[in-house]
Every structure is written in C-alpha cells, then in structure tokens.
Amino acid sequence: MRRSLKPIEEQVVVVFGATSGIGREAACRLARRGARVVVAARSETALNTLAEELRREGGEATAAAAEVTEPEQVQAVAEHAVATYGRLDTWVHAAGVGLWASFAQMTPKEWQRVIEVNLNGAVYGAMAALPHLKREGRGALIHVSSAEARLALPLQTAYAASKHGLSGFLKALRLELEHEGLAVQVTEVMPSAINTPLFDKARTHIGTKPVPMRPFYQPSVAAEAILYAAAHPIDEITAGGAGRAGMLLQQAAPSLMNGFLRTAAFPLQRTKEPKGPDAPDNLFQHLEGYDRSEGDFTGESRATSFYTWLSMHPRVRQILAAAAVGAAAVLAGRGRRPESGHR
C-alpha cells in the first residue's frame, strides 16, 4: 500500500504537548514552514501566548487547552482543528511527564499518573485524530516516544514502562490500519537525551535535580525528525545517534549494556543541584516559568545528529552503503595473493 503525505505548507497539524520542549519546537517550526497549527496542552494561558507568538511571526496558529488524560477534552482538540481549518492532516503527540525515583520510593498515584499521561494520553490522542484522518483518506499520526521504548533506565521505571507500552501500541495500530488498507501513516519518533525543560519540571525522589544521560541533543534534532515524518511516510525514526547506538548495543550485547547501566546510570542521572520531592513539579499540573523549548544544558548539547540526518536522506544513505560495499570489494581483492601456477 502506497502512502503519500501532503507538503507541510498544505497541512493542518495538531501538536499536543506544545507549551515546552520538543512539542513547542516542533509547533514553531511547523508554523514557520507554512502549516496551520493547533497548539494543545493543559495551560490555556501558555498556549494563547504561544499562538500569539506564532501569529506575530507570520504563521497561522490557534490554541486549544485540554487535559491529556481526559478523552473528551482530547477529542475536542481534534474537533477544534476541523472547525477552525476544515480538516486535520497530521496529529503530533508530544505530551509527557517524567518521574525520577526508585520503584520502592514511588507511590501508586505517581505511577498511575505517569502511565495515564504518557501512555493513555497518547492513546486518547490517536482515538481523537484517527476518525478525521480516515475521513481525509490519508494523514500522519506521529507520537513522540523515547529511546527508552527500547532501552530501560533505572530510576525511571514508570517512564520506561509507559514508553515501552506506547511503542507496542503503535506497532499494533499500524498493522491494523495496514490490514484495513488505510493510507494513514503511524510514526514513532524516539528521541535520545534532549535538552528540554522536562528535567527542571519533573518530580524527583533522588535528592537532586535529574539530568539526562549524556550526550544531549538540542530540541531541534527531534523537531526536525517530526517535520520529516509529517511529510515522508516512515514507521520510526530515532532523534540522535546516541540513542540508536544504545538500542543496538542492548540488542547485540545485553549483558554488557546492562552492566554499564547497573553501575553508571545512577550517578549519571544526578546533578549537584539539590531538589526534594516537595519542590514544585508538573506531574499533576502545569508548572509556570518553563514555557520554552530548551532546558539548562544548551552549552553541552549537540545541535545536529549525523545519524538522524542520514535517516532523513535515504538516497545519501544508499550511496554511502554502495560506496562502502565497493571499497570492501577492492580491499578484499587486494588481499588475495596471485596464484603462481605451480603445484
């Protein structure tokens, strides 16, 4: 089944989780490239400010506040997009929360909230968007997962569970849509460690402000992967080569990878900045003051990823692969000794 997606400048796009981080960066870039964008999240004030900013820059944008764990509110966002712009072409789901704690420190309410937002909220997004995408006959359902959909880090049991669950959901959904012969593309975007305000806003029981395991990438790396997926049918794409390397190592040498994580992952996820469980966080409500794309690690973050760039340029990847095969053949030929002709 051949899928085709509209150019970004012809699309109506909902970005859920647009007030900060990857979602905000993707919404800004989509609007700048001509898409009509509906920005959605739980803070009406933050969303209105963002929509006004995008319109001042010359883009088309409107805001729709909703709590991602309430299916009716999520559905209302999709209906708002159709009522405002006439249709829906792409749904980008980037809403998510983090919680740093050992499993023993976690409360049932905290566990439930992470699963509700990161997994169930994503499912509600798909439920809201799919009827409209099916009616258009094509479109993209893009969910921001994580490298932790394939890996699992200690101190992030709830987060890892939510992302593993999201990945399984998207794979099964994709197969169902393919079986129905529907030209709706389901894409999983798996960011590596991204420099977003998530680490400032997250609840923590580890005694310090958490930090992603290095290396970090700027939100633009993940946002460009989202924009690529909005216009090019692709099942999954990893934002940042470090995440992909970790996934491959987990597959090829799980004992080695698990040994590394068992020892190094605990200190590498802690900063020196004290932060207790009573500090303000965004687990259950919007946290003011962090409505931006980047976090506190800009100076340490990579602005590009060659691996992700290659993922978005398949022709270049094919040329490089062919060149590598040719070089290997030449080297193999040079390594053969000529036969003397004597026995």
Q: What is the dihedral of CA 122, 231, 21, 77, to 10 degrees?
A: -50
- Rounded to whole angstroms, the Cα distance separating 177 from 299 reads 42
Alpha helices in the chain (DSSP H): 21-32, 44-56, 71-85, 108-115, 121-136, 157-179, 198-201, 219-231, 241-252, 254-268, 306-311, 314-335
The DSSP-derived string for 205-255 is SSSEEE-PPSSEE-HHHHHHHHHHHHHS--SEEEESHHHHHHHHHHHH-HH
- Catalytic hit among 124, 159, 217, 228: 159
Which residue in the block uniquely carries the two structure tokens 């004992």? Answer: 255
- How distant, in Å, are the alpha carbons of 154, 176, 281 from that of 302? 24, 37, 26
The partner residues of 13 in beta bridges, in order of sequence, read 37, 90
- Residues 204-239 as b/e (b if ≥16 CB within 10 A, e otherwise) read bbbeebbbbbeebbbbbbbbbbbbbbbbbbbebbbb
Q: What is the DSSP letter of 338?
A: P
Cβ–Cβ under 8 Å, residues 277 and 209: no
159 given a catalytic annotation: yes
Residues with a known catalytic role: 159
